[in-house]
């Protein structure tokens, strides 16, 4: 039995790649930086597989179909992985390459005679699947590269910051009481701490994106003392705006370092987005099995549609776009809270301000 389309594709595969490359050079800007072999990468393998798919002499058993799908997936992923490794390529350019290839395949195969419906459907379905596989791998590889970059960057920044902080602390210790430079040194240390916190947030967000869990060391914590410590530290930078309302001796079983970060992030968030020069109230309450922390600030409410993205990483509401930072504070606060088997929620309305409410179990399940 003769396979006209399959045979024509096999005979013209090399010519198709030449035509595809000529168009890619002219229409895909990123392609001009790479030689022919690199540019074509896995596409000749794709054409060879398409030859088999168009054949009517090859028996399409379930095992054969499964094997072909595995190979097709491998080829598409290989192409997507290659393109993601080149700084010039975008997802749009990757997809456009396949559109060009489809046009070239139809152009060459229909020079002698039109393709039938079966043949056209096979080619279209094959191209669409290849695009999907390549684009999925492109995105994944790009995320992996970005994660590696962030981890490397944050790690490399920690060293110089530590040196600057130690030097500033040494200078502060040598200043005499009453020296006008003490306040400057204190503010420098506070700024260094905030920068270090931003870097830690970025590193932790990167770990969470890659599927890792935060390293939590659970221990008995006096949360009333922890909240008071946070407020005292933040008062150096933001002034006496914080009001703590709490019973004495509120204890829980938690990772003290990470819950401190939650409190700091929510308090700083209230400073950034609340009305200037108004009190920020941190209310700590306990019930028989759980503890709640409410951080309240006055000012304009958060729109309902904006509340849905508050806890997503690298996302900001429209009113927050001018603020500094990574946009990770609330995302990490949510992640840390949930790692403690707790919840975090927001309430915001005109005239009543905004409340962020963290609820934690006194003893997480499995910790008793």
What is the CATH classification number for the domain harbouring 319? 3.30.565.10
Q: Is residue 9 assigned to a domain?
A: yes
Please say which residue of 154, 188, 212 terminates a domain. 212
Q: Which residues contact 45 (CB under 8 A, 6 or more apart)?
A: 75, 78
Tell me: do 203 and 287 sit in the same domain.
no
Is the per-residue pLDDT at 318 higher than 70? no
Is the per-residue pLDDT at 206 higher than 80? no
Q: Is residue 269 assigned to a domain?
A: yes
Of the ranges 23-37, 263-277, 320-334, which one carries the lowest mean pLDDT score? 320-334
Of the ranges 128-142, 175-189, 236-250, 310-324, which one carries the lowest mean pLDDT score? 310-324
Confidence category of residue 211, pLDDT binned at 50, 70, 90 = low
Angle between helices 43-54 and 62-84 (to 10 degrees): 160
Give bridge partners of residue 253 from the DSSP assignment. Answer: 220
Confidence category of residue 321, pLDDT binned at 50, 70, 90 = very low
Q: Which domain holds residue 275?
A: 218-361
Tell me: do 263 and 125 sit in the same domain.
no
Q: Pick the more confident residue, 293 or 4.
A: 293
∠ CA 43-48-54, rounded to 5°:
120
Rounded distance between C-alpha atoms, residue 309 and residue 15, angstroms: 50
Tell me: do 55 and 196 sit in the same domain.
yes
Rounded distance between C-alpha atoms, residue 257 and residue 360, angstroms: 15
Average pLDDT, the chain: 83
Confidence category of residue 212, pLDDT binned at 50, 70, 90 = low
At 132-149, the pLDDT tens digits run 999 999 888 877 777 777
**DSSP code, position 366:** T
Confidence category of residue 359, pLDDT binned at 50, 70, 90 = very high
Q: Pick the more confident residue, 74 or 151.
A: 74
pLDDT of residue 259: 93
Is the alpha carbon torsion for 157, 201, 355, 250 positive or negative? Answer: negative
Q: Is residue 367 assigned to a domain?
A: no
C-alpha pair distances (Å), 191 with each of 56, 103, 314: 71, 57, 21
Tell me: do 244 and 340 sit in the same domain.
yes
Tell me: do 78 and 191 sit in the same domain.
yes
Is the per-residue pLDDT at 331 higher than 60? yes
pLDDT, mean of residues 280-288: 94
Confidence category of residue 325, pLDDT binned at 50, 70, 90 = very low
Q: What percentage of the chain exceeds 70 in pLDDT?
A: 86
Q: What percentage of the chain exceeds 90 in pLDDT?
A: 32
Is the per-residue pLDDT at 296 higher than 90? yes
């Amino acid at each position: 039995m003769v396979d006209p389309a399959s045979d024509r594709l096999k005979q013209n595969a090399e010519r198709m790649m030449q035509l595809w490359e000529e168009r890619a050079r002219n229409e895909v800007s990123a392609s001009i930086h790479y030689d022919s072999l690199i540019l074509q990468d896995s596409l000749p393998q794709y054409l060879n597989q398409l030859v088999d798919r168009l054949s009517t002499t090859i028996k399409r058993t379930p095992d054969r179909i499964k094997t072909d799908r595995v190979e097709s997936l491998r080829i598409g992923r290989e192409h997507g992985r290659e393109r993601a490794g080149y700084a010039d390529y975008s997802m749009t350019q990757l997809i456009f390459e396949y559109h060009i290839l489809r046009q070239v395949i139809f152009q060459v195969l229909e020079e002698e005679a039109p393709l039938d419906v079966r043949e056209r459907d096979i080619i279209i379905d094959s191209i669409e699947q290849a695009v999907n596989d390549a684009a999925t791998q492109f995105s994944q590889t790009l995320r992996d590269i970005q994660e590696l970059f962030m981890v490397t960057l944050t790690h490399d920044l920690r060293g110089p910051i530590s040196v600057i902080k130690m030097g500033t602390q040494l200078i502060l210790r040598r200043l005499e009481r009453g020296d006008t430079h003490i306040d400057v040194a204190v503010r420098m240390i506070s700024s260094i701490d905030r920068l270090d916190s931003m870097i830690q947030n970025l590193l932790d967000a990167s770990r969470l994106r890659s599927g890792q869990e935060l390293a939590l060391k659970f221990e008995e914590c006096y949360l009333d003392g922890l909240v008071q410590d946070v407020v005292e530290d933040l008062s150096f930078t933001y002034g006496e705006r914080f009001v703590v309302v709490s019973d004495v001796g509120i204890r829980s079983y938690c990772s003290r370092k990470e819950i401190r970060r939650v409190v700091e992030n929510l308090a700083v968030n209230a400073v950034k987005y609340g009305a200037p020069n108004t009190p920020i109230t941190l209310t700590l309450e306990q019930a028989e099995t759980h503890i709640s922390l409410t951080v309240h600030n006055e000012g304009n409410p958060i729109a309902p549609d904006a509340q849905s993205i508050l806890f997503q990483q690298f996302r900001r509401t429209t009113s927050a776009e001018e603020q500094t930072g990574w946009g990770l504070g609330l995302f990490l606060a949510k992640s840390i809270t949930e790692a403690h088997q707790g919840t975090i929620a927001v309430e915001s309305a005109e005239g009543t301000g905004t409340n962020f409410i963290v609820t934690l179990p006194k003893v997480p399940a499995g910790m008793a």
